[in-house]
Amino acid sequence: MTTTTTRPESDVDLFTDEVLSDPYSTLDRLREQAPAVYLSRLDMWLICRYEPARRVLGDWESFSSAQGVGMTEQFNHAWSAALICQDPPTQTEQRAIFTENLSTRALRPLQATIDVRAEELVDELVSRGRFDAVADLAHDLPINVIMDLIGWPPSRRERLIPMATAWFETIGPDNERNRSSWPVVGELFEYLNQAIDQDDLTPGSFGRHLLDVHRAGHLPREAAVGLLAGYVVAAFDTTINAIASAVWLFAREPEQWDALRAAPSLVASAFNEVIRVESPIQYFTRVATREVDVDGVTIPEGARVLISYGGANRDARHFAEPARFDIARNAVDHLAFSFGNHACAGQNLARLEGHAVLRALIPRVARFEFDGTPERALNNAGRGFAHLPVRVTPA
Ligand code: HEM
């Protein structure tokens, strides 16, 4: 492998409204420029090719999360005790506590509840004929079923969606979206601390389990706040973006909806394809703990590396015709849930929700059509919609 002597560099701003609205042409260009590109505005190295992204995510000793996974000191300092900002062995220990209730086996008894809720909701929406796929469809399971599991009091659920959105904004660089989101993140901190102090999480819930482990002296308070945030933040924009993107893609490509209705066993493959094509979380970062050669480009020790999950998922070196939405592709190795020791700890739950919604829609909806213009929710780290008005033809 020859080492590049001139540093591949770009002064592009990935976080303007224009690029956030349609990031893929910019990411395609940067992906072709080099395996890793130095972004001079951010002082970070972007990786948006599939193989190098997967290698970086799989090598925590060379690419650490312990100096934070956001793009500013403020974020990395604020969440320094959180699971996502740890390396093993601390990360391994905290993650075991978090995922105890999230294995496929532990979640199996929940499937019926989630399925019934999704079916009742879809029945109601189909009888209305037109609805907003974000507020009316995608918000329902996270707010009503997932927060029950976590044990979050219903009276305090209303603010969680804007708080989660703000948290994802603050992963981004020091821009206006990031700065204006900190007051809401401050409210989130208060909320999480109140949950610990007031002890009002439902007995038997995931959240109460965390508090019990904390009270038994096995989890410091800051780590308990971080893990609780892992439930209440990660449970919202992620699955909400995924479900809304599914409806958006199927409204644009009705033949793919026909194909899924003809072969409902492709639900798992279809959900993977939705989050490959429209990755709900677009970026997190790592810090290089040593000088590393990435396919001929030298990343210096101490450099911050920006991983583009969405960019990697659209690398033609790995996925043929990557911009094509093809529910039969079976993209099991996409990076939308990341990879390696930090791979999404809630992915079984996310799949349970996504599959339940698709399974409820398949026998009830023959067609989705846009009922007005979809409005994107621009966010430094998330990709989804603010409003997605649709009309459905009942099956
Ligand atoms: C479609 C839905 C979802 C997507 C696309 C998604 C995506 C991701 C990604 C990309 C990461 C990686 C972070 C990294 O590389 O550093 C991650 C981590 C994580 N996710 Fe998810 N997520 C989803 C749903 C959920 C849900 C429902 C929960 C919780 C109930 C959750 C909890 C977490 C936690 C706690 C981590 C940190 C894991 C660790 O650091 O070990 N996620 N997720």
Report whether residue 242 contacts ligand 1, using a CB cutoff of 6 Å.
yes
Report whether residue 226 contacts ligand 1, using a CB cutoff of 6 Å.
no
Report whether residue 206 contacts ligand 1, using a CB cutoff of 6 Å.
no
pLDDT of residue 59: 98
Residue 100 to residue 96: CA distance in whole angstroms:
6
Q: What digits encode the pLDDT tens for the residues 168-209? A: 999 999 999 999 999 999 999 999 998 888 878 999 899 999
Give 229: exposed, middle or buried? Use CB within 10 Å, 0-12, 13-18, 19+.
buried
DSSP 382: B
One pLDDT digit (tens) per residue for the chain, 395 residues: 555 568 999 999 999 999 999 999 999 999 999 999 999 999 999 999 999 999 999 999 999 999 999 999 999 999 999 999 999 999 999 999 999 889 999 899 999 999 999 999 999 999 999 999 999 999 999 988 889 899 998 888 888 999 999 999 999 999 999 999 999 999 999 999 988 888 789 998 999 999 999 999 989 999 999 999 988 899 899 999 999 999 999 999 999 999 999 999 999 999 999 999 999 999 999 999 999 999 999 999 999 999 999 999 999 999 999 999 999 999 999 999 999 999 999 999 999 999 999 999 999 999 999 999 999 999 999 999 999 999 999 99
Residue 369 to residue 128: CA distance in whole angstroms:
14
Residue 212 to residue 222: CA distance in whole angstroms:
14
Residue 136: count of CB within 10 angstroms of its CB: 17
pLDDT of residue 198: 84
Nearest CA to ligand 1 atom 18: 344
Do 243 and 357 touch, CB atoms closer than 8 A?
yes
pLDDT of residue 156: 84
Collapsed DSSP state (helix, strand, coil) of residue 265: helix
Do 260 and 274 touch, CB atoms closer than 8 A?
no
- Cα 16 to ligand 1 centre (Å): 25
Please give the backbone phi and psi of residue 20, each rounded to the nearest 5 degrees, phi first: -65, -35
Residue 59 to residue 357: CA distance in whole angstroms:
35
Instruction: Quote the mean pLDDT of the chain.
Output: 95
Do 151 and 393 touch, CB atoms closer than 8 A?
no
Cis-peptide, bond into residue 109, ω within 30° of zero? no
Report whether residue 243 contacts ligand 1, using a CB cutoff of 6 Å.
no
| Ligand 1 atom having least distance to the Cα of 227 | 35
pLDDT of residue 14: 98
Domains, the chain, with CATH or none:
9-394 (1.10.630.10)
Print burial letters for 251-269: b (CB count within 10 Å at least 16), e (below 16).
bebeebbeebbeeeebbeb
Q: Tell me the pairing of strands 304-308 and 44-47.
A: parallel
- Cα 350 to ligand 1 centre (Å): 9
Q: What digits encode the pLDDT tens for the residues 350-372? A: 999 999 999 999 999 999 999 99
Do 312 and 48 touch, CB atoms closer than 8 A?
yes
- Cα 235 to ligand 1 centre (Å): 8
In which region does residue 394 sit, left (phi positive, over 0), alpha (psi from -120 to 50) or beta (all else)? Answer: beta
Do 269 and 41 touch, CB atoms closer than 8 A?
no
- Cα 358 to ligand 1 centre (Å): 20
Report whether residue 150 contacts ligand 1, using a CB cutoff of 6 Å.
no
pLDDT of residue 5: 62
Residue 189 to residue 204: CA distance in whole angstroms:
23
